[in-house]
Chain A
Amino acid sequence: MAPATESLKPTAVKLDPRGGRPREKAKTYIEGMDRMLNGGIPIGNTSLLAGTVGSGKTTLAMEFLINGAKNGETACYISVTEPSSKMLENLRTYGFFDDSLVTEGKLNIFDLGIINDRLGVERLDGSYSPKDMEALLGAFEDIVDELQATRLVIDSITAVCYQLPDRGSIRNFIFRLGQFLSTFGCTTLLISETVVDAATQTYSIFGVEEAVADGVILMGNVQRQGDLLRTMQIVKMRGAKHSRARHLVELTPIGLSVVPLLKWGQETGAVYS
């Protein structure tokens, strides 16, 4: 038996409260964001990229895909709300976009029309039956599998959720989507549209998406002397020790850049996210 004094010896204090072995990360290559995420988004995570109109969700998501494609990965963007041709035209206005990524098949852009073709339905009534939901999940799975995509963005998951009959179906849909994407090692951003609400902070329209997702990245606006500043905050990211501080996001010639937001520089008492 060890002497009694032995048990009184202080144990070494680990500086990293999480300890353990870190998960492999998909770097965003966005200036400042990988530092917030302690290296990037854990590979295979499905995260909500939530925010109001004009908060920079689509730009951030596209840069995440483009940067991955530039580094040899296959990336896929599914546009639910606007035609891929229009999306491409908008992308060409960004300095970080390169047309060759599309022609070489590193960046693949689909719109709802293509997905509906795959489903074999002409959906005009705006509601998916359970059978349609299965078909839609199957279509997403096929796209990721066929392209061997390691990065995926669905813009927006809110528009897909509007087609689903109830909250239970939404929960089930996102859960199953996340499951197969994780199996494929595909890191995914689901764009979630939120509305300005001065009383509560929401991450989605239906309120269930954030519970199922592995991560929540919140984009928003804060007001300072009447000016609007774009912000980003990582609310949740399974498998990563991440910053929870609010940061400023700015579009620069090299793409988006992120720096910590000054603490006193945001008007209090109202949520602008």
Chain B
Amino acid sequence: MGSGNRGGVLLSYQSEVRDSIKAGDSLATVVVPANNYRELTLDIVAKLLGSKLGGIYVTTSRPSTHVVKEMKARKASLNDLYFVDMISLTVGGETGDPRTVFIDSPTMLESVLLNIGLLERRIKAKRHFVMFDSVNGLSIYSEMRVLKEFMNVLANTMRLRRTYTMMLTVDEQTPPELEAVLVTLSDCMIRGGTGDG
């Protein structure tokens, strides 16, 4: 993807990216530089939970137990946050957390759609969000045409359900073909800068 501004808002600072997230956009893509990626993701989720939204965190790039641990370190309330974990069963991580659905394999993309629907029934808050971390992570396991189809189905399913959806992707690891799909599907493109100021 590179570092240029090819559509979307170019933002240089972590806080500006976080503040530009507004629940109400139906579907937003957040393009994050690799060096800021982890911090920024957690910042966004903490912000949404603090705004009285309940949500689902879909993780493809790190085990959900790691995310929980880091969220707890930030003293974020996790009462209304659930997880779809696509990686722990593949890497032999912990799979006992009752708030998490563990997917057999990251290739099983339909399972994500299905389990988002089931977990949404458990969310207590009136407004829901789905954080998809990350689109580039999925491209490791699935062919581009499958991934493009999945993004299309996911975006339209979430739009129908009126669930605020954020798709995170790491700038340096997102193929241009996938970026084009994300630009087409998103209501809002948020682009983080280098993070160096």
Contacts and interface: CB of A to CB of B under 8 A. Distances in A.
A207 interface: no
A159 to B, nearest CB: 31
A260 B118 CA distance: 15
Contacts of B142: 225, 265
A254 B108 contact: no
A259 interface: yes
A250 interface: yes
Contact of B110 (A253, A254, A259): A259
A150 B145 CA distance: 45
B143 interface: yes
Interface stretch (B77-85, B146-154, B163-171, B179-187): B146-154
A259 B118 contact: no
A259 B114 CA distance: 7
Interface string A227-269: 1010000000000000000001010111001011111110000
B107 interface: yes
Contact of B109 (A252, A254, A257, A262): A262
Contact of A265 (B109, B114, B115, B118): B109
Given A227-B104, A252-B118, A254-B118, A262 B150 contact: yes
B107 A225 contact: yes
Nearest to A224: B107
Q: Which of B141, B146, B149, B153 has the most CB of A within 10 A?
A: B146
Contacts of A260: 110, 153
A257 B107 contact: no
Given A248-B114, A250-B114, A252-B114, A264 B107 contact: no
Contacts, number: 50
A74 to B, nearest CB: 29
Contacts of A254: 118
B173 interface: no
Contacts of A261: 110
A248 B107 contact: no
A229 B142 CA distance: 14
A262 B111 contact: no
Contact of A227 (B108, B145, B150): B108
Contacts of B104: 227
B145 A264 contact: yes
A227 B90 CA distance: 12
B113 interface: yes
Contacts of B153: 260, 262
Contacts of A264: 143, 145-146, 149
A250 to B, nearest CB: 6
B105 A227 contact: yes
Interface in A212-232: 224-225, 227, 229
Interface in B121-172: 141-143, 145-146, 149-150, 153
Interface in B97-120: 104-105, 107-111, 113-115, 118
Given A225-B107, A262-B109, 20 more contacts: A224-B146, A225-B141, A225-B142, A227-B108, A229-B108, A248-B111, A250-B111, A250-B114, A252-B118, A254-B118, A257-B118, A260-B110, A262-B146, A264-B143, A264-B145, A264-B146, A265-B109, A265-B110, A265-B149, A265-B150
Closest 9 CB pairs of A and B: A248-B110, A264-B145, A227-B105, A264-B146, A225-B107, A259-B114, A265-B146, A224-B107, A259-B110
Interface of B: 104-105, 107-111, 113-115, 118, 141-143, 145-146, 149-150, 153
